[in-house]
Amino acid sequence: MDDPLAWATRDADIAYSCPGFDIVNETVELPDGTETDFDYVDEPAAVVVIALTTDDQVVVIEEWREAVGRVNRGFPAGTVEPGDDDLATAARRELEEETGYVADTLDPLTTVEPLNGLANSVHHHFVARGCRPAGEQRLDDDESIRVETTTRDALLDALAAGELRDGRTALCLLYYERFAED
């Protein structure tokens, strides 16, 4: 990269690996010539889905989040898997697996790097419309999820009150409210 702010990677190793992500340790050279270490989380891309029902409700999940020690309310989301044909396939799969809902249509909303100072995460946000229950949840072994529906206004109120704390959901909801076409 020709940008004068760019760092040059001299060496990289996986310092720790577990299901879902790796911790990468790099030796980098900064623009001023200083050599130092840099660690980051390396994880696959993810999808996040704001799922709208035919009666203008929003499908949300409540899920235990061990890292913060509480139930977290948010939108269906998950990792893009090797067998996914494309990002929309991953979004449809995660919506159905986590909620039992399927969508008539699915459109891209935005793509963001939510924590690019610490991780190489990329989150692809989608809008699913015409969502309806079509079966049972098919949760991963490490998921415990409750499904409900609510209104966008109730979610916005919860966000304003500090009760909706999931960053992926907050961004997806606000981006939808500001930029999506109904």
CB distance 180 to 127 below 8 Å: yes
Q: Where are the domains of the chain?
A: 8-42, 46-179
Query: Alpha carbon of 168 to those of 42, 62, 78: distances in Å?
Result: 18, 14, 11
pLDDT tens profile 26-58: 999 999 999 999 999 999 999 999 999 999 999
* pTM for the model: 0.93
Cα(137)–Cα(100) distance, integer angstroms: 5
- The CATH fold assigned to 46-179 is Nucleoside Triphosphate Pyrophosphohydrolase (3.90.79)
Query: Alpha carbon of 10 to those of 33, 40, 43: distances in Å?
Result: 12, 15, 21
Question: In the predicted model, what is the mean pLDDT of the chain?
Answer: 95
**What integer is the mean pLDDT of 146-159?**
97
| Phi, psi for residue 94 in degrees, rounded to 5 | -65, -40
**What integer is the mean pLDDT of 128-139?**
91
